[in-house]
Amino acid sequence: MLQDLLLILILGFVAGKIFEMIKLPGLLGMLFAGVIIGPNYLDLLSEGILEISGDIRLIALVIILLRAGLGLHRETLEKVGVLALKLGAIPCLLEGFVVMGLARMLLGMEWMEAGVLAFIIAAVSPAVIVPSMLKLMEKRIGENKGIPAMILAGASIDDVFAITLISIFLGILTTGNEGVWHGIMAIPREIIGGVLLGLFVGLFLSYIFKKFQLKGSDKMLLLVIGALFSYVISEPIPVAGLLAVMVTGIFLLEKNKVLAEVFSKDLKGVWAFGEIFLFVFIGAIVDVSLAISAGPIGLLIITIGILARVAGVYVSTIGSVLNKRERLFCGIAYFPKATVQAAMGAVPLAYGVEGGELILAISVLAVVFTAPIGAIGIDLSAKHLLGPGEVK
């Protein structure tokens, strides 16, 4: 297993740097490295490391979400809060229901199967979006209108809606209609629950840091433990774990700005490792041949869904302070898909849902198609659509 970790670090680092040299996002190189060394191609990784890859991806994702929270100031969130909520809900719902209709018409799926596929496809990827927005925040791009913070918050809310609706449609397929209204009511419950859980963990950590004299390394360890706790406890209790992790960081920033800046700086160093593991492992589970099997119709459905999402972004930002260029950037920023698709794509097949193989194939195609385009699009468009005029 140690050899696997070394291989991942070396190839992920080298591939990332090569892509950066050719002016492409480094994460694409890491994804590419994962695809090549994964079980679907060269098969260089042992079964042991693949069995725990999901947990490693989770830890890396928690670290980057925690960093995001530690950089989100309350004043900024107050300024963009309502808009972030609209961006998290309207584009996701519009894309999801458009894809649902297309899957029904073009693939002949039953409505509930189409619904499962639609919201697996509709979910955006925190794994791609969060690091990209943090880079913009570090460069102070878009900061005067809180655009990166708004997109970060919206992405978490987007996934709450998507995952909840996946659960509703999957529940109807497997147990009947009884849980529909219960599932719909879970959306506000998960958002509120995620915020409250994050506040509780943040308050507890803040108390411990104030009450006891701890070394910096001990504080960092407790912070990571607290963030992981807020995510893990969300599994048996239906709250939004990803949102809870971010809220923990936001609360600590509000209580102790100096300490939060130290944490953020330290986590940036940890992320240098976490980034490689996250994207290499995502790449390792991607079977490009399976994506190809989804065919032109699968690609057409995903493309129209993305266009519907962009339209949803425009609807969400009507009457806002954002100009046309900034609204277009927000649409591009919500392109990437990877995290939810990697985690949920195979679930319908495991539940014996008819069409499960097709759902998995289109989910993989969504990752292969949108993650590179989205990552490149964010990187290039930020310079032109947000531009120097948005830099403080």
Domain assignment of residue 8, yes or no: no
User: What confidence score (pLDDT) does residue 238 get?
Assistant: 47
200: Cβ contacts below 8 Å, ≥ 6 apart? none
User: What confidence score (pLDDT) does residue 173 get?
Assistant: 78
Domain that holds residue 79: 51-390
31, 282 Cβ separation under 8 angstroms:
yes
Domain assignment of residue 40, yes or no: no
Mean pLDDT on 234-261: 80
Q: Which of these ranges, 61-75, 287-301, 310-324, has the smallest mean pLDDT?
A: 61-75
pLDDT bracket for residue 390 (50, 70, 90): very low
pLDDT bracket for residue 180 (50, 70, 90): low
As a whole number of angstroms, the distance between CA 80 and CA 208 comes to: 31
Domain assignment of residue 36, yes or no: no
As a whole number of angstroms, the distance between CA 162 and CA 165 comes to: 5
Q: Which amino acid is at 101?
A: G
Q: Which of these ranges, 18-32, 133-147, 160-174, has the smallest mean pLDDT?
A: 160-174
User: What confidence score (pLDDT) does residue 175 get?
Assistant: 65
Query: How many distinct structural domains can be found in the chain?
Result: 1
Does residue 128 carry a pLDDT above 50? yes
Q: What percentage of the chain exceeds 90 in pLDDT?
A: 39
Does residue 126 carry a pLDDT above 90? no
**Which pLDDT tens digit goes with each residue over 60-99?**
888 888 888 888 777 777 777 789 889 999 999 999 999 9
Domain assignment of residue 117, yes or no: yes
Domain assignment of residue 33, yes or no: no
As a whole number of angstroms, the distance between CA 142 and CA 195 comes to: 25
Mean pLDDT on 204-228: 91
Q: Where are the alpha helices (DSSP H) in the chain?
A: 2-21, 26-37, 47-51, 53-70, 74-107, 111-122, 126-138, 147-175, 180-211, 216-232, 241-255, 257-284, 288-293, 295-316, 324-333, 339-344, 347-350, 356-381
Mean pLDDT on 97-124: 94
User: What confidence score (pLDDT) does residue 299 get?
Assistant: 94
Q: DSSP label at 237?
A: T
Domain assignment of residue 174, yes or no: yes
Task: Tell me the whole-structure pTM to 2 decimals.
Answer: 0.81
We report the CATH number of the domain holding residue 328 as 1.20.1530.20
Q: What percentage of the chain exceeds 70 in pLDDT?
A: 93
**Which pLDDT tens digit goes with each residue over 22-56?**
888 888 899 899 999 999 889 999 999 988 888 88
Most confident of 71-85, 96-110, 150-164, 215-229: 96-110
Torsion angles phi and psi, residue 322, rounded to 5: -75, 140
pLDDT bracket for residue 391 (50, 70, 90): very low
Q: Which of these ranges, 108-112, 166-170, 262-266, has the smallest mean pLDDT?
A: 166-170
User: What confidence score (pLDDT) does residue 57 get?
Assistant: 83
User: What confidence score (pLDDT) does residue 294 get?
Assistant: 82
User: What confidence score (pLDDT) does residue 362 get?
Assistant: 92
Q: Which residues pair with 141 in a beta bridge?
A: 391
Which residue carries 């947990």 as its tokens? Answer: 55
Does residue 240 carry a pLDDT above 70? no
pLDDT bracket for residue 202 (50, 70, 90): very high
Mean pLDDT on 159-163: 84
Domain assignment of residue 27, yes or no: no
